[in-house]
Amino acid sequence: MPKLTIEQNQLTEFLSLEAERKALEQKARAIAKRTDALKAHFKTFLGELDKQSVTRHGFRITIVDGRPSVSWKDEFIRVAGPIAADDVLTSAPKSKGVEVTPL
């Protein structure tokens, strides 16, 4: 069985890709923040009109049902109590990751 190796270019590429990924995630968060603000504006607009849907400037704006969402942590604590929640948290397996840092 061949022995695995790690090349310097792999480490350099990893750090470069990680930096690029973080920059893109930051940009994506900024875009999401702006689109969320626009959605809230549209929802308020429809609410003031007391309508589910309107047409403006060649676009239809509609309030639609989203996916059901449960705050599982809060619901678990409400049903089972905080001690049970702590027990679940402390007994949960910890994931393992890899960190690469230049020297």
Dump the DSSP string for the chain.
Answer: -PPP---HHHHHHHHHHHHHHHHHHHHHHHHHHHHHHHHHHHHHHHHHHT-SEEEETTEEEE---------HHHHHHHHH-HHHHHHHHHHSPPP--------
pTM over 0.75: no
- Kindly indicate the confidence band of residue 98, based on its pLDDT and cuts at 50, 70 and 90: confident
Domain boundaries, the chain: 8-65
pLDDT per residue over 12-70, tens digit each?
Answer: 999 999 999 999 999 999 999 999 999 999 999 999 999 999 999 999 999 999 888 87
